[in-house]
Amino acid sequence: MNIHILAGGPLEYIPKLSDYCNGNVKWVGVDRGVFTLIEQEILPYRAFGDFDSVTPNEWDIIEEKVSEINRYTPEKDETDLELALNWAMEQKPDLIRIFGATGGRLDHFMGNVQLLINEERLNDRIKIEIIDSQNTLSVVMPGTYPIDQDTSKDYVSFVPVSSVVENLTLIGFKYPLKNRNIFRGTTLCISNELIQSSGTFSFTNGILMVIRSRD
């Protein structure tokens, strides 16, 4: 099972959601993202938020359409997206995809990225991706990972989250690496490209952000 979460980010940054509806997927809406799903004829399995960004009429539609609504006061310790993600993690899905989490306010975007580098979530080893119309972002722990070419996202960037990522090795890339330590704050691994149909990346210690992008 996959869980797809739609937050309330700007619509122009959200990809075509119908492309992500195949297979065993449960959709979750966050705040205004709930109404956006309904507008796109995707029925949310569950809804989270304080719903301060919807109109009274839109709220009436949400109440009518969605059977499981978790509504909170605006004054709380977690963001609406974090509450939805916590619930999604408890369901132990194979994959969590988050949409509507980029664009607009930078504090929201940086907070959403922080959700992916939370130590408890990383230790659960459930794959989480933030996806928008140009990018797919994920965070991984040490290991060896296969990676395939994606004609819709040519560039692959590797960004250290920890102070150092040890022994990064890139195979099948335009700019290969072998057992290279890369340090937080450097741009060594920005805008790489696969030159084969598939490749691998691996590292032995640290936390690594992987971003696939297109112009």
pLDDT in tens, 74-106: 888 899 999 999 999 999 999 999 999 999 999
φ/ψ region of 165 (left if φ > 0, alpha if ψ in -120 to 50, else beta) reads: beta
CATH 3.40.50.10240 in the chain is located at 2-133
Q: What is the pLDDT of residue 31?
A: 96
| Alpha-carbon span 110 to 129, nearest angstrom | 14
| Alpha-carbon span 41 to 61, nearest angstrom | 13
Q: What is the pLDDT of residue 146?
A: 97
Give the neighbor-by-neighbor strand order of the sheet with 208-213. Answer: 69-71, 46-49, 25-30, 2-6, 95-99, 127-131, 135-140, 208-213, 155-160, 192-193
Task: Report the pLDDT averaged over residues 164-188.
Answer: 97
pLDDT at residue 123 greater than cutoff 90: no
| Percentage of the chain lying above the pLDDT 90 cut | 93
Considering only the top CATH level, what class is 2-133?
A: alpha beta
List the beta bridge partners of residue 209. Answer: 139, 159
Residue 156 DSSP symbol? E
Task: Report the pLDDT averaged over residues 149-153.
Answer: 90
Neighbours of 100 (CB within 10 A): 29
Q: What is the pLDDT of residue 151?
A: 84
Q: What is the pLDDT of residue 79?
A: 94
Beta-strand pair 155-160/208-213: antiparallel
CATH architecture of 143-213: Sandwich (2.60)
| Alpha-carbon span 99 to 129, nearest angstrom | 9
| Alpha-carbon span 107 to 14, nearest angstrom | 18
CATH 2.60.120.320 in the chain is located at 143-213
> Mind listing the pLDDT tens digit for each residue in 13-50?
999 999 999 999 999 999 999 999 999 999 999 999 99
Query: What is the average pLDDT score of the chain?
Result: 96
Residue 38 DSSP symbol? H
pLDDT at residue 7 greater than cutoff 90: yes
